[in-house]
């Protein structure tokens, strides 16, 4: 089972590296959205610092959404998804490997870029650690929840709008606690409890998400 997980993860990473646009587009979107806010708002450092947690988190959420439509689309078009669904093995590990590969290719670059953008928005250096931790815990949850919706729309042509309608309400708790943790840090309040809630959301998503994704893939394929 572990070898199947590793083989699937390696395959997805290799396929992802062959399509660099799928990696660059969400990251470019993330940087562009955050960079536009200082141009449209007051350039005062106090104002930007106050809005920075929400701005970075909303931009990360939207960047994740940009990448979701293609998470299973390539497998569906090549027939690999059909082969996966008819195989006798359980879908949990292959689906988990696909989600992990997607996070490594699209979510992790957002996390690594976030401190630079946070510093640009005048976040204190001490708050950048909280920003990184919140995104490390939150972005995998966003991707898993989004993958559940993507599994239900994989057979729908141009399902991006439908995917957004399904995902956005489910993203609200992660957004609230993610941006809230950084805001708490700015106010000098303890953030361990908020980060613990994000960690609990991630644990729940990792344990139940692949099961829901597998079921969604079977429903969308008619199996």
Give the Cβ contact number of residue 52 at 10 Å.
27
Q: Given this model, what pLDDT does residue 179 score? A: 93
Q: What is the DSSP letter of 91?
A: S
Q: Is the dihedral of CA 56, 57, 58, 63 positive or negative?
A: positive
Q: Given this model, what pLDDT does residue 72 score? A: 79
Alpha-carbon distance 47 to 87, whole Å? 55
Inter-axis angle of helices 45-68 and 125-153, to 10 degrees? 30
The residue assigned the tokens 């957002």 is 110
Alpha-carbon distance 99 to 220, whole Å? 18
Domains in the chain: boundaries? 2-221
Q: Given this model, what pLDDT does residue 28 score? A: 93
Q: Given this model, what pLDDT does residue 222 score? A: 62
Does residue 194 contact residue 184 with C-beta atoms inside 8 Å? yes
Series of mean pLDDT values for 10-residue runs along the chain (223 residues): 78 84 88 87 82 92 86 72 70 88 93 93 90 96 91 68 78 94 91 95 94 84 62
Q: Given this model, what pLDDT does residue 71 score? A: 81
């Amino acid at each position: 089972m572990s070898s199947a997980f590793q083989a699937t993860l390696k395959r997805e990473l290799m396929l992802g590296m062959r399509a660099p646009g799928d990696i660059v587009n969400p990251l470019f979107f993330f940087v562009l959205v955050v960079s536009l806010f200082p141009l449209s708002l007051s350039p005062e450092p106090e104002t930007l610092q106050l809005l920075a947690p929400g701005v970075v988190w909303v931009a990360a959420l939207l960047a994740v959404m940009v990448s979701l439509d293609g998470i299973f689309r390539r497998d569906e078009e090549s027939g690999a998804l059909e082969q996966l669904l008819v195989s006798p093995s359980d879908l949990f590990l292959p689906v988990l490997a696909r989600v992990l590969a997607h996070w490594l290719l699209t979510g992790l670059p957002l996390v690594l870029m976030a401190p630079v953008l946070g510093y640009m928005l005048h976040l204190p250096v001490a708050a950048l650690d909280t920003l990184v931790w919140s995104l490390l815990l939150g972005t995998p949850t966003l991707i898993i929840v989004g993958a559940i919706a993507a599994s239900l729309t994989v057979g729908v042509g141009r399902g991006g709008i439908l995917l957004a309608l399904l995902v956005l309400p489910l993203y609200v708790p992660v957004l609230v606690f993610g941006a809230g943790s950084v805001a708490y840090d700015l106010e000098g309040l303890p953030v361990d409890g908020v980060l613990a809630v994000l960690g609990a959301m991630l644990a729940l998503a990792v344990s139940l998400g692949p099961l829901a994704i597998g079921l969604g893939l079977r429903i969308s394929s008619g199996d």
